[in-house]
Structure 1
Amino acid sequence: MPYVELSDSLPLYYEDHGTGRPVVLLHGWTMNSSFWAGNIPALAAGNRVIAPDFRGHGRSGKTPDGHTLAQYARDVRELLDRLGLTDATLVGWSMGTAVILSYVEQFGCHNVRGAVFVDQSPRFLDGPDWRFPLLGGYSRLDLAEFTQTVRHARPLAIKPFIEACFAKTPPSDAVDAAYAETTQTPTEAALDVWFDMAYADFRPVLPRVTVPTLLVYGEQSKVFPGDLGGWLAEALPDAEVERFAESGHVPFVEEAERFNGVVAEFLRR
């Protein structure tokens, strides 16, 4: 199992498959690289696919420190540097996209050839000037209620969130299996980065994403309802939208074959 020992001695786990131009798959909040299982073989047919587990997630080292989007982005940069990757395409699902935006905020598009955003908003909290908050409306009170439930009754918060990721409610055993994977992230680490993400506003960073960007958005997303992909396409310098009619927040799972084909074509271009 490949690991990179980061500069603070934390072991960062990553999957590494195939050869060719590098593609780095960045997972969502409390998830891990195993959620890309339906995509890695297809994408690795013509590319080198690297899928890390963020610190505190999956098989990576557990630490009480560093659970911010900025630190996760620094970890991604260190991984690219350590592996000698100079033309990577970063594919971010949900929180993974927020990490990409934090990366650009700190480093520009250093060593980045392209980007793929999968169903994520640059801002979670609602406000009078924002049409695409989390769940269609996410106030500070909603944030407080959710995080307190995570802290004191974690399954009651996370399992409904997993269900909401899908256009159609998945079987309970699939939800239980996904939830079991999320428990590898300690609760305090999960809450630290959730608060950081909730209060982030990456809208000012969007003009700095100067590399070609593919926007993959589920038309039935309950997590980010509305035409967020269309809004982002107008805000980004070089972006195109692929809308997935049968998907919610996880088009790479719900329409995996089409997702793999669309991303593979983007990588070829």
Structure 2
Amino acid sequence: MEAKRLRMQNSTVSYLDNGNGKPIILLHGFCGSSGYWEKVIPELSKNYRVIAPDLPGHGGSSMLNDGYGIDDLADMIRDLLDELNLQQVTMFGHSLGGYITLAFAEKYSDRLNGFSLIHSTAFPDSDEAKLGRAANIEKVKKDGIHPLIDGLVPKLFSPDNLDEIYVEAAKTIGYATSPQGAMSTLLAMKDRPNRNNVLEGTELPVLLIAGESDQIIPSEKTFSVTKANVKQSLIKASGHMSMYENPTDLINEIKRFLSEMEK
């Protein structure tokens, strides 16, 4: 899969664009990239147009000019959709990508057919988590990106899935994150608000996906709202990275959600 690059007002965005059909957007997590979706895109792109951008300071995308919050990242995705002449999409956000998806749903619900949080949550950071974000900002400032990635990546996987290939693939992607991108994103996540009101208020179809053995965001943090239009799905044999750990079940849940939306 060859990345495309698009120069926008405040940054250059690298993104994958594969397949034809109704457009779906895949947003990766912190210190990830569109490469996170390498096992997912080929199957989904058989029936859909799949667009997976690298977020600012991640992968092949440049930083935004003046740092950013989660709302700014949602605005950037809106600008990308405008550049690609896409009026309505279905959005899937992994972890950090889920925070952006919620902000997008709050600000631009008319641009969505539906949305999904994958190993993500509508809750804000706890006080303890905020302290951890601040400590990691200082760690990157002092030691660079590599120690952060080396400490983070193994925690993303279930203890049963510490396959060296998966871990090394995620580390390689993580090392490509710019230190400024990591620090700005840590601050954005630390300061994000509670957005359970978005899940409670939306009438759009919603898919909440959690990993059975997620050490980062447990299922109860993902399954925070129960409503008729909100589907909950628990991926077996997976931690925080079902796109690597159990891509078959993840793909099936995504396809089932998309299919039910079209009925």
What is the TM-score of this pair, normalised by structure 2?
A: 0.88
Partner of 1:253: 244
Q: Which letter does structure 2 place at the counterpart of 1:190? A: A
Does 1:47 pair with 2:48?
A: yes
- Separation in structure 2 between the aligned mates of residue 12 and residue 142 of structure 1, nearest angstrom: 29
Whole-angstrom CA distance in 2 between matches of 1:80 and 1:141 = 34
**What's the counterpart of residue 32 of structure 2?**
31
RMSD (Å) for aligned C-alpha atoms: 2.1
Higher mean C-alpha displacement, 113-122 vs 64-73: 64-73
Structure 1 residues 224 and 35, CA, compared in 2 at 3 Å: closer, same or farther? same
Q: Which runs of 5+ in 1 are unaligned?
A: 128-137
Aligned to 1:155, the other structure's residue is in SS state helix
Q: Is the 8 A contact 1:117 1:216 kept in 2?
A: yes
Change in Cα spacing, 1:140 to 1:77, as seen in structure 2 (3 Å) is: closer
Match of 1:219 in 2: 212
The separation in 1 between residues aligned to 2:197 and 2:259, in whole angstroms, is: 29
Deviation per residue, 1:8-61 (Å, 9 max, x gap): 3x2211111111110110011121101100000010111110111112211112
Superposition pairs of residues 68-147 of structure 1, within 5 angstroms: 68-107=69-108, 109-126=109-126, 138-147=128-137
Equivalent-residue separation in structure 2 for 1:62 and 1:228 (angstroms) = 30
Aligned to 1:131: none
Code of the residue aligned with 1:54 in structure 2: it is L
- Contact persistence 2:146–2:175 (CA under 8 A): no
| Residues 123 and 199, structure 1, Cα contact 8 Å, conserved in 2 | no
Asked if the contact 2:133–2:186 (Cα under 8 Å) also holds between the matched residues in 1, the reply is no
Please, which of 120, 139, 149 is the counterpart of residue 139 of structure 2?
A: 149
Distance in 1, Cα, partners of 2:211 & 2:43? 20
- Paired positions, count: 255
1:182 corresponding residue in structure 2: 174
CA distance in 2, matches of 1:267, 1:173: 30
Cα distance per residue 1:68-92 (max 9 Å; x no partner): 2112111111111222222311010
Counterparts of 2:167 and 2:182, CA distance in 1: 18
Q: What SS does structure 1 have at the residue aligned with 2:73?
A: helix
SS of the residue aligned with 1:227? Answer: helix
Describe the shift of the 1:61–1:199 C-alpha distance in structure 2 as closer, same or farther (beyond 3 A).
closer
What's the counterpart of residue 3 of structure 1? 5
Distance 2:94 2:23 in 1: 17
Q: For residue 79 of structure 1, give the secondary structure of its aligned residue in structure 2.
A: helix
| Gap runs ≥5 in structure 2 | none
- Does the aligned pair in 1 maintain the 2:235–2:242 contact within 8 Å? yes
Which amino acid in 2 is paired with 1:113? N
Q: Is the 8 A contact 1:159 1:175 kept in 2?
A: no
The DSSP-based 3-state class of the residue aligned with 1:110 is: helix
1:268 aligns with 2:259: yes
Q: Report the Cα distance in structure 1 between the residues aligned to 2:6 and 2:136, rounded to whole angstroms.
A: 33
Higher mean displacement: 36-45 or 150-159: 150-159
List per-residue Cα deviations over 1:121-151 (Å, max 9, x = no partner): 2234226xxxxxxxxxx34433332332232
Deviation at 1:226, TM superposition (A): 4.5
Structure 1: how far apart are the matches of 2:22 and 2:233? 22
Percent of pairs identical after alignment? 25
